[in-house]
Amino acid sequence: MQKLDELYRGKTKTLYNTDDPLLLILEFRNDISALNGQRIDKFCRKGMINNQFNYFIMSKLEKFGVLTQIEKLLSQSETLVKKLDMFPIECVIRNRAAGSFVKRFGIKEGFYLNPPIFELFLKNDCQNDPMINTSYCKTFKLVKKKYLSQIQKLTYQINEFLCNFFLKSDLILVDFKVEFGLYDNKIILGDEFSLDSARLWDRSTLDKMDKDIYRQNRLGLIEAYEAVLKRLDIQLT
């Protein structure tokens, strides 16, 4: 597999073309960003941690029956992935109130949301990823109705599976964001599932073990990410 030119450079990851038109190389960099890119920093080891955490979780999801873009772990910070035709939406599930939800509704952080809340956001950095709903998807032709209902169902299934999975390691899955795309007319989980895109709390202390440590300007981000890996018995290569 030959790594070719850069296809897309995001805030924390880069996609490269390969000599196979159906496959891309996804590289996780050491960068981290908050406030829609207004704050950017670098953390040593973060790229390799996120790459291998993402690969581990996506592999678990594949075994559970979710189709994902991952093909092969290529190196410490790179994974070979399918080239998807991505939907321009972000799907968020919230099991507990946190982050923007707390600000929007004035609800106390940690409040149980039962059944979990499903939210949609438009992928549009210039407009700060505004919240949308099924009506927006229809009017702006973002996702076909049949795909959207499958995407919502899949996101809930991923949530149920991962909630139980993390709980076995005494971790609470507070919320997360996922993105999907089409490949061969099938809906495939793309982008990433990492501690940058999900909130995980310690079950007993409710300590945050995710990107909120950075968002809140606290120390110990990488230590927390590594503690999660240790709990899940993920050995870094």
157 binds ligand UDP (CB under 6 A): no
Using CB atoms, what's the residue nearest to ligand UDP? 99
Q: Which of 83, 96, 177, 208 binds ligand UDP (CB under 6 A)?
A: 177
Residue with Cβ nearer ligand UDP (27 or 175): 175
What distance in Å separates the CA atoms of residue 88 and residue 65, rounded to the nearest whole number?
Answer: 24
Q: Which of 129, 160, 202, 226 binds ligand UDP (CB under 6 A)?
A: 129
13 binds ligand UDP (CB under 6 A): no
99 binds ligand UDP (CB under 6 A): yes
**Which range touches ligand UDP (CB under 6 A), out of 42-50, 106-114, 173-181, 224-232?**
173-181
Residue with Cβ nearer ligand UDP (4 or 40): 40
Site track 181-220 with ligand UDP (rule: CB under 6 A), x = hit: ----------------xxx-----------x---------
Single out the residue of 178, 181, 176, 172 nearest to residue 192, CA to CA. Answer: 178
33 binds ligand UDP (CB under 6 A): no
Residue with Cβ nearer ligand UDP (129 or 226): 129
Residues that bind ligand UDP (CB under 6 A): 92, 98-101, 129, 175-177, 197-199, 211
